[in-house]
Chains A and B, each alone.
Chain A
Amino acid sequence: ILNVEQSPQSLHVQEGDSTNFTCSFPSSNFYALHWYRWETAKSPEALFVMTLNGNEKKKGRISATLNTKEGYSYLYIKGSQPEDSATYLCATNTGNQFYFGTGTSLTVIP
């Protein structure tokens, strides 16, 4: 079992603010790091899949970085909008088993 930790647990920001969250994971035997966005009453949707140290990925106003040597990934949201309100999950795997963190719940206040 891998211990995947996310911080903070929840976050409230004003519309237009930029924000970031952290995912920490064991750095040994690393395969991949996934970020998912999970809106209330919906299913998680994949945002990013990162496999290489130093990876940076971007989708619109959302970006993520990966440091496999120290075992962390950051998710950044630039200019938060109310529609960004969701829980953001990260997950990493040992071969065929993925382990999820408990998520960061983001609320963007208009």
Chain B
Amino acid sequence: NAGVTQTPKFQVLKTGQSMTLQCAQDMNHEYMSWYRQDPGMGLRLIHYSVGAGITDQGEVPNGYNVSRSTTEDFPLRLLSAAPSQTSVYFCASSPVVGTGNYGYTFGSGTRLTVV
């Protein structure tokens, strides 16, 4: 049981480039989400999904797109990278959210630097 798998672990992009951060889970979790972690700011929600075909914006969605074509995969796309998107990105999943009765399982993170 691999849990939540994120790739790549590290990435350097030039300003204006695009890329996709991959996230896959093998626990049949309905809920998946993307967070970014910046010094002094804690984890902030970018986008989330409550099931295949359903996505919604979180606290800081600008500059990012997501899709959820399958239960297992939830990729995060940076459309035109900016230095302000330099951060550590975490994917997290949960069986169900809503009432919050289940904790998150986190991926190992992607450290992204935009130069």
Asked if B101 and A51 make an inter-chain contact with CB atoms under 8 angstroms apart, the answer reads: yes
Asked if A46 and B108 make an inter-chain contact with CB atoms under 8 angstroms apart, the answer reads: no
Supposing A43-B90, A103-B42 touch, asked if A32 and B99 sit within 8 A by C-beta, the answer is yes
B residues less than 8 Å from A19 (CB atoms): none
**CB-nearest residue of chain A to B31:** A96
A residues less than 8 Å from B35 (CB atoms): 100
- One digit per residue, 1 when the CB lies within 8 angstroms of any chain A CB and 0 when it does not, for chain B 3-47 equals 000000000000000000000000000010101000011111100
Supposing A89-B42, A100-B43 touch, asked if A46 and B90 sit within 8 A by C-beta, the answer is no
**CB-nearest residue of chain A to B102:** A49
A-B contact pairs, 29 of them (CB 8 A): A1-B59, A4-B42, A31-B99, A33-B100, A34-B104, A43-B107, A44-B43, A44-B90, A46-B104, A48-B103, A49-B101, A49-B103, A51-B99, A89-B42, A89-B43, A92-B100, A95-B98, A96-B56, A96-B98, A97-B59, A98-B33, A98-B45, A98-B97, A99-B45, A99-B59, A100-B35, A100-B43, A100-B44, A102-B41
A residues less than 8 Å from B103 (CB atoms): 34, 36, 46, 48-49
Asked if B74 is at the interface of the complex by the 8 Å CB criterion, the answer is no
Chain A positions 30-80 with a Cβ under 8 Å from a chain B Cβ: 31-34, 36, 42-46, 48-49, 51
- One digit per residue, 1 when the CB lies within 8 angstroms of any chain B CB and 0 when it does not, for chain A 77-110 equals 0000000000001011101111111110000000
Question: What residues make up the interface of B, taking CB atoms closer than 8 Å to A?
Answer: 31, 33, 35, 40-45, 48, 50, 56, 58-59, 90, 97-109
Complex Cα–Cα for A104 and B40 (A)? 11
Asked if A31 and B100 make an inter-chain contact with CB atoms under 8 angstroms apart, the answer reads: yes
Asked if B100 and A32 make an inter-chain contact with CB atoms under 8 angstroms apart, the answer reads: yes
**CB-nearest residue of chain B to A92:** B100
**CB-nearest residue of chain A to B45:** A97
Q: How far is the CB of A91 from chain B (nearest CB, A)?
A: 8
B residues less than 8 Å from A89 (CB atoms): 42-43
